[in-house]
Amino acid sequence: MGCSTVVGIINKPLGWWVAEQTLKPLGWSKYNKKVKGKYVIVPDKERLPAVETILRGIREMKPKVWMELLDSCYKNHNKKKDEAAEKGTERHALLEIWVKDCIKNYGGKPVIEDPIKEIINTPDILSFMFWSQQNVKQFLWSEAHSYSELLWTGGIADVGWLDMQDRIVAGDFKSSKDVFFSQFVQIGGYDIMLSENGGYTAEGDKIFELPGPIEAYCVAPFGQEEFNPIVLDYVEDFKAAFRSSVHSYKLNKLFDQVKKGINQAEPIKTVEEPKEDGASKLVTLNELLEA
């Protein structure tokens, strides 16, 4: 079981985001926006032009075209999610190149001199690079494969470093606009696996053992307007939450199998049996046979 698959059992509060993506093709835009860390109201005069343009087009639409537009709106949030995932994959590749270059050529020190051209031209990568210079003393790993025999899980830990307080920090890169509980639980899973078996290449060659226990987790949400990675240090709680998630994931799979079997089975027929007071009650066929 992959770490991300396991923590998928934990719900993310994405209802508002889904609604936003669904309404955008209809000309809707948010009534507030964040400016310098604070939300401000967007005047109607800034929001109405897009709505008026779409409304004029809708008035001239035939029913089938209108239905197709609604179908497109219904699927839009999933389209945006796939686009973010694709961009996230590209970002991961660039971050891996830079962090591994720091480890190989600079002893893990986050150095920005003479960076690869495509990295320096990517604003979100630069944000992490500059943040790292203030918060990272030494990178320890990048894209480390690992596993747990005890939990039967596997995954790829994005990045790890020694911070300015000499703590080992496990980090994870995300495309989200905010941080979520499940993301820290996921890092808890990586912590369990790295602590149990160390890190490996994709080919299975061992590349490192943790020099000590991981003492903090960091989620870097690149979808934020102002890049601000969050670091939390209650690692034992998140590891416990990951173990619970493994159990919940397995139980949910079992539940799905049981439910599928119940749905495929023929329903038990029922008959009415008179009560002493003249009313009737429903009894199953099995109850009648046992009587």
DSSP of 233-256: --HHHHHHHHHHHHHHHHHHHHHH
What is the DSSP secondary structure assignment for residue 258, as one 8-state letter? H
Amino acid present at 196? E
- If you search the block for the tokens 């320096």, which residue do you land on? 120
Could you tell me if residue 171 is inside a domain?
A: yes
104 occurs within a structural domain: yes
Query: Is 227 part of any domain?
Result: yes
pLDDT at 268: 52
Rounded Cα–Cα distance for residues 99 and 108 (Å): 8
Distance CA 151, CA 3 (A): 11
Mean of per-residue pLDDT scores for the chain: 85
Give the residue among 285, 287, 288 at the shortest CA–CA distance from 268. 285
Q: What is the pLDDT of residue 210?
A: 93
Residue 48 lies in a domain: no
Q: What's the CATH code of the domain at 94?
A: 3.90.320
In a domain? residue 253: no
In a domain, 20, yes or no: no
**pLDDT at res. 77:** 76
Give residue-wise pLDDT tens across range 130-181.
Answer: 999 999 999 999 999 999 999 999 999 999 999 999 999 999 999 888 899 9
Tens of pLDDT, residue by residue over 200-252, are 998 999 999 999 999 999 999 998 878 899 999 999 999 999 999 999 999 98
Closest among 190, 175, 218 to 89, alpha carbons compared: 175
Domains in the chain, number: 1
Per-residue DSSP letter, 2: B
pLDDT for residue 9 is more than 80 = yes
Residue 51 lies in a domain: no
Can you tell me whether residue 148 is helix, strand or coil?
strand
What is the extent of the structural domain holding 231? 3-13+87-248
**Does residue 160 lie within any of the structural domains?**
yes
